[in-house]
Each structure stands twice: as C-alpha cells, then as structure tokens.
Amino acid sequence: MTKNIRLDNDSKKVAEKFSHRCEIDTGYLAYRDLPQILNKYCQGKNALDYGCGAGYSTALLKDWGFDATGVDISSHMIHQARINYPELSFNHIKLNELPYKDNSLDLVLSVFVLFDIPSLDLLTKYAQEAKRVLKPNGIFIGITGSEYFHKNNWLTAINDIENNQNLKSGEIYSVNVTDVDIIFHDFYYSDHDYIDVFKQSKLNKIATFHPLGKTEDNIKWLTEWQLPPYVIYVCSPSK
C-alpha cells in the first residue's frame, strides 16, 4: 500500500467487526436513497463495488438487481466479504488498478472510500481508474463524509469535534463508530476538493445528495435530523 491507504483501519480484527455492522445506525443514511438514485441515473446492470470492504454494499447491489462484483485493496476485507457472502464475487486488487477493460461497466459505486485515501493525487488516480472502466453512459457514485461529518457527533459516529473544526485538506481525523466498536482514521477533504478531483478525472458531477434523517426511518436520530453526515456524488464520464 502507498502510505498505508487504510492506516490501522486495515486489519483482520477490523474486518471481522465491520462485517457485523447494524442496519439501524448513522451509516444507514449512506444507503437509504440509493435505489431511487440508481433507478434515475443508471442505465445498465453491470456494476463494480470499488472498495467493497466486508461486502455489504456489494450484496445490496445484488439485491437491487445488479450483476455486481466487489474489489478492495485489503486482503482482510476481501477474506471477510467472501465469508459473509459466499455467493458473490470478490477480488483483491492493487491500489488504483482495476482488472477491467476500458468502457466496460455501467456503474462504479464507491462507499466510504474517498475519505480513506491519503492524498489528492491518489484520490485523483482512484477517480481516473473509475472513469476508465465506465461506459460512455455509465455512472460513478461516490459516498463519503459531508462537510459536517467530522465536526459533529452522530447516532453511532463520535468525533473529536473540539479539534476537528478547522481541518485542512488531507489532514487525518479519527471517528469512533460505536455500533461496531471501531475507531477509524480518515482524511478530510472539502466539497471543493472532491469536485476538483472529479473534474481532473473527467467525471462530470451531475447530482449531489445530502441525506437527512426522516421520521419514516423509525430510527431515533440525533444530529442526523438537521445535518447530513454524508454526501452522495453522482458523476458521468466526459470525453
């Protein structure tokens, strides 16, 4: 790994814990609106979960009718994904090297990966590789922490909010994901950073979503009622 992209997020213990994530947690908001978003913007069913972790998002794609494969640079995560979902396909990859032909996929989904990447240069290479494998009418969906994520505490995500108020691009912060008892270390990037990365990677941002908690979620949200913990970027490849 270059600069250890997942820091101490990458271990057998973390992979095992992460596979027991709860459906009723802050992370639920990252996935809740995806079926509607995919239905509106995605025209095909050939999908890649780019940074699949323990396989949760890959399984969701499969449940939603996609022909989905998960890939990750963490051998621990891939091992756990294969245990969790033996009926699905998972592949261990090298950093920013996808084993797919150019213009071959309808969808590249990236969940909780963008803030794992330790530099804007590597972030751009990650996005460029996603763009390379997308069909001309394909879609990239990136889900990451919003501008509010690191500055607030959430139902199941606790931050050092006193020291996180003025983070600069690329600075590391830690977040305690309480439902799985893991402290993750992530990198802060602004909305401007992400937009610039997409532009450099020839991905056109066509929509942005900021999911908030809703009464019909039947979850006792905290900050999620007023502020979105995550941002969902929808991009299409340009020439």
pLDDT in tens, 24-46: 799 999 999 999 999 999 999 99
> Cα separation of 53 and 76, whole Å?
9
Instruction: Supply the pLDDT for residue 20.
Output: 58
Q: What percent of the chain has pLDDT over 70?
A: 90
Task: Give the pLDDT score at 12.
Answer: 67
| Predicted local distance difference test score (pLDDT) of residue 92 | 97
- Quickly state the pLDDT bin for 5 (edges 50, 70, 90): very low
What pLDDT, in 10s, does the model give residues 135-157? 999 999 999 999 999 999 999 99
Mean pLDDT, to the nearest integer, of 206-212? 98
Report whether pLDDT(63) > 60. Answer: yes
Looking at residues 57-80, what average pLDDT do you find? 96
What are the domain boundaries of the chain?
7-237
**pTM flag (> 0.85):** yes
Looking at domain 7-237, its CATH superfamily turns out to be Vaccinia Virus protein VP39 (3.40.50.150)
Position 1 pLDDT exceeds 70: no
User: pLDDT category, 7, cuts 50, 70, 90?
Assistant: very low
pLDDT at residue 67 is higher than 60: yes
pLDDT of residue 33: 98
Under the banding of pLDDT at 50, 70 and 90, the label for residue 16 is low
Q: What is the pLDDT of residue 17?
A: 58
* Percent of the chain topping pLDDT 90: 86
Q: Is the pLDDT of residue 22 over 80?
A: no
In which band, very low, low, confident or very high, does the pLDDT at 13 lie, cut at 50, 70 and 90? low
Residue 18's pLDDT is 57
| Mean pLDDT, residues 117-135 taken together | 97
User: 53 vs 31, 82, 116, 164, 192, CA distance in Å?
Assistant: 15, 11, 12, 26, 26
Kindly write down the DSSP assignment for every residue of the chain, as one continuous string: -TT-TTGGG-SHHHHHHHTT--SSSTTHHHHTTHHHHHHHH----EEEEET-TTSHHHHHHHHTT-EEEEEES-HHHHHHHHHH-TTSEEEE--TT---S-TT-EEEEEEES-GGG-S-HHHHHHHHHHHHHHEEEEEEEEEEEE-TTGGGS--SSEEE-TTTSTTPPTT-EEEEEETTTTEEEEEE---HHHHHHHHHHTTEEEEEEE-----GGG----SGGGTS-SEEEEEEEE--
Are 154 and 222 in contact by the 8 Å Cβ rule? The answer is yes
